[in-house]
Structure formats: structure tokens, C-alpha cells
């Protein structure tokens, strides 16, 4: 009897499956390294149980405000991960226009959230992971907002600072919002993150990647525009009330971790980045060298078949570029340890040899 191979057609197929049992997961985009100790130390004394402020615990917002020049705690809204922040912001944008500009490839939730908010979508196609400004300007016509995701999931690219400055300027001139998804802002190998400035900027961020707290679901949005805040808080009141108060306490504790926590992590990501990048190059694959986040995004013909074959025949989880608007590529998250990356590369080599792909 043949083994059943239900086709894999979305990341949901894998989420929560993790690795182990000889399964190697290059799938889910979550750090395997532990969060800072600080977040667990607060647990034994925790005793709260009542509703918190919808906007988020004040002391967490105060701490965040220290990270953003000239900001204040009222300019932050704590959310159930960056995902909820995106949901709220898109819903807000639906009051402002009919269409948003998204990158392609994109984080797979963007188009879904746009659709749920009744927003139509234009795309700007990244060229080898980078924004083509002419293409960007052509496609932003008729949009009320543009979405930027640097470093990018799934490409691992960062955008050039002059390009970001130009976008900051032209969107302001044209009265468009910038929604900047910066959940990987602390995982950049090449330079510091660039913060957009201006009242037309809505920054989305998360504790999930910087502090390895994915399962605890704490994110936030930051804006200097009071209307953005007020509207999103109202929506959140009816959507989910406050974000889990204990998650927020843990996020607050995470912000007290020493700088060295992040620096050490970035050093580890960089080593892994180099390993997997070189490994894939050595296999003859076509890809860009990631500059941030923890993804590589090599080209593969018939990426859907590759993802299915690798899972069913080689016990490897990878994500089909199709899910990110980019068929013909496969996303590998390298948030796993060196020995597993090496074993994964060996399996990939075996698969490619078998299929005559190298």
C-alpha cells in the first residue's frame, strides 16, 4: 500500500510540528536559542489576573519609549504578536483608502490580512531581494499605504538606506502611510536598522524574534499619529481586549536583558548564515546572501514538488516560495543548530543528486 502523501499547501501544515524524531525543520521562523533568563525569573512571584489596559501595561510601554527617540508611552499599543498589530493597522487603513502596496515576496499573512480588511493590493516586486524604486513608485499610485519589511521574511534581505529615505520622503509628500514591519530589526548582520521617521509612519514590532518569545505572542505598534492609536485601541477592545498580562510582564523583563544577549545571538545567527549560504552555493543553487533575519531563499524549479519530496522522502521541513508570492523558490529558516543544518544540507544533496538537479 502506498504511503499517503497529502499535499502540503500552506505553512499551517507544519506549524507546531517542530523538529525531533529525525525530522529536520527549516520551516517555522522561530529562534531555537533560549529567551533571556530574565523572563522566567519573574514567574514565581506573578499573581495578577485582572484585565489590563487594552493599550498595554504602562511600564512596558514606558520601557519601549526609551528605545524610540522622542517617543512617549502613549504612542505604543501592545498586541498579540506582530500579527495582531498588522490586523489592526490594515483595518485602520481601510478607513483611509481602498488599496495598499505590499512587497513581493511577502510575509504570507500580509495579503490575507489585507483581504480581511477589505483592502485591495498592489505589489512591488523585489529584485534579488531589493526594492526597485521605479517599480515601487509606479505601483504606489492609488494606494493609501505602503508596506516595508526590512529585514525581509522570506528573503533575508535588508533595504538600502538611501532607498528607505526616498520612500520616507515620497510617501509623506503624497499623504500615504508607511507600515514598517521591523520584527527582524535586531537581527541584521551588516549594519544598524534604519528607523523611518514621520507622523505617517506606523512601526510594527515584536518580542518574538529578538528575544525568542514566539509562543508568548507579544508584539506592538508604534506611531506618533494619535488617530492611529485611538482607532487601533478601539478595534483591539472588541477583537481581544488586553494582551496576556503575563506575556507583557515577560516582555518587560526581556527588555532588561543585557545588550550582550542580542549580540551573542546575532553572532550565532551569522555563523549559521555563513554555513547554510555556502552549503547551498556549493550545491550549485542560485540565491542571495542574507543580510538579516534567519532565512535563505534559493531558487528551485517546481518548488512545490521540492517541498513535498523533502518532507515525505527526506524528513525535512521547508517552505514553498509560492506561499510568499514567489513560486520557484524555497525558504529555509536556519534557526536550528549547526549539526542539523549540516545534516539537512547532506539530505538536500542526496535529493538533488537523485533527481539529477546537480
Q: Which parts of this chain interact with a copy of itself (CB under 8 A)?
A: 11-12, 15-16, 18, 28, 30, 34-35, 39-40, 43-44, 46-54, 80-81, 83-84, 87, 91, 109, 112-113, 116, 118, 212-217, 233-235, 237-247, 250
CA–CA separation, 336 and 49 (whole Å): 35
Least distance to a copy of itself from the beta carbon of 34, Å? 7
Does residue 240 have a cis bond before it (omega within 30 degrees)? Answer: no
Least distance to a copy of itself from the beta carbon of 51, Å? 5
Least distance to a copy of itself from the beta carbon of 21, Å? 16
Residue 86 CB-half CA count within 13 A: 26
Task: For a copy of itself, give the closer residue by CB, 159 or 318.
Answer: 318
Nearest C-alpha neighbor of 10 from the set 346, 339, 319, 249 = 319
Task: For a copy of itself, give the closer residue by CB, 90 or 194.
Answer: 90
Least distance to a copy of itself from the beta carbon of 91, Å? 7
Does residue 226 have a cis bond before it (omega within 30 degrees)? Answer: no
User: In 126-212, which ranges are continuous DSSP H helix?
Assistant: 133-139, 161-173
CA–CA separation, 67 and 45 (whole Å): 27
Least distance to a copy of itself from the beta carbon of 159, Å? 24
Cell of 41: 525569573
Least distance to a copy of itself from the beta carbon of 122, Å? 19
Task: For a copy of itself, give the closer residue by CB, 57 or 326.
Answer: 57
Nearest C-alpha neighbor of 87 from the set 232, 304, 197 = 232
Task: For a copy of itself, give the closer residue by CB, 202 or 212.
Answer: 212
Task: For a copy of itself, give the closer residue by CB, 10 or 263.
Answer: 10
Residue 134, Cβ density class (10 Å: 0-12 exposed, 13-18 middle, ≥19 buried): exposed
CA–CA separation, 155 and 345 (whole Å): 19
Task: For a copy of itself, give the closer residue by CB, 113 or 150.
Answer: 113
Which element (helix H / strand E) includes 159? none
Q: Is the dihedral of CA 70, 75, 80, 82 positive or negative?
A: negative
Task: For a copy of itself, give the closer residue by CB, 114 or 330.
Answer: 114
Task: For a copy of itself, give the closer residue by CB, 105 or 129.
Answer: 105
User: In the chain, which ranges are continuous DSSP H helix?
Assistant: 38-41, 58-65, 81-93, 109-116, 133-139, 161-173, 226-239, 245-255, 259-282, 303-314, 338-354
Least distance to a copy of itself from the beta carbon of 28, Å? 6
Least distance to a copy of itself from the beta carbon of 44, Å? 4
Amino acid at each position: 500500500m502506498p504511503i499517503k502523501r497529502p499535499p502540503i499547501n500552506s505553512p499551517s501544515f507544519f506549524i507546531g510540528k517542530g523538529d525531533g524524531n529525525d525530522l529536520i525543520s527549516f520551516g517555522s521562523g522561530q529562534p531555537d536559542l533560549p529567551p533571556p533568563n530574565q523572563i522566567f525569573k519573574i514567574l514565581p512571584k506573578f499573581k495578577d489576573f485582572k484585565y489590563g489596559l487594552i493599550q498595554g501595561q504602562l511600564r512596558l510601554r514606558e520601557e519601549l519609549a526609551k528605545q524610540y527617540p522622542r517617543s512617549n508611552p502613549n504612542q505604543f499599543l501592545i498586541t498579540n504578536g506582530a500579527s495582531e498589530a498588522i490586523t489592526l493597522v490594515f483595518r485602520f487603513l481601510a478607513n483611509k483608502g481602498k488599496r495598499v502596496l505590499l512587497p513581493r515576496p511577502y510575509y504570507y499573512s500580509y495579503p490575507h490580512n489585507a483581504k480581511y480588511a477589505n483592502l485591495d493590493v498592489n505589489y512591488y516586486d523585489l529584485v534579488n531581494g531589493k526594492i526597485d524604486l521605479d517599480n515601487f513608485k509606479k505601483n504606489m499610485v492609488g494606494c493609501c499605504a505602503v508596506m516595508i519589511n526590512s529585514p525581509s521574511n522570506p528573503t533575508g534581505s535588508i533595504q538600502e538606506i538611501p532607498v528607505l529615505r526616498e520612500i520616507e520622503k515620497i510617501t509623506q509628500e503624497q499623504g500615504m502611510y508607511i507600515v514598517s514591519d521591523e520584527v527582524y530589526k535586531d537581527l541584521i548582520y551588516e549594519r544598524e536598522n534604519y528607523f523611518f521617521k514621520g507622523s505617517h509612519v506606523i512601526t510594527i514590532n515584536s518580542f518574538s524574534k529578538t528575544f525568542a518569545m514566539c509562543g508568548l505572542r507579544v508584539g506592538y505598534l508604534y506611531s506618533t499619529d494619535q488617530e492611529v492609536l485611538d482607532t487601533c485601541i478601539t478595534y483591539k477592545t472588541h477583537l481581544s481586549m488586553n494582551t496576556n498580562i503575563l506575556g507583557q510582564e515577560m516582555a518587560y523583563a526581556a527588555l532588561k536583558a543585557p545588550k550582550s544577549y542580542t549580540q551573542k545571538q546575532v553572532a550565532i545567527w551569522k555563523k549559521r548564515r555563513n554555513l547554510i549560504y555556502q552549503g547551498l552555493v556549493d550545491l550549485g543553487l542560485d540565491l542571495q546572501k542574507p543580510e538579516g533575519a534567519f532565512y535563505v531563499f534559493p531558487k528551485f524549479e517546481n518548488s512545490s514538488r521540492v517541498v513535498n519530496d523533502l518532507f515525505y522522502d527526506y524528513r525535512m521541513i521547508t517552505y514553498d516560495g509560492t506561499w510568499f508570492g514567489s513560486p520557484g523558490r524555497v525558504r529555509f529558516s536556519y534557526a536550528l543548530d549547526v549539526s542539523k543544518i549540516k545534516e539537512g544540507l547532506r539530505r538536500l544533496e542526496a535529493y538533488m543528486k537523485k533527481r539529477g538537479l546537480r
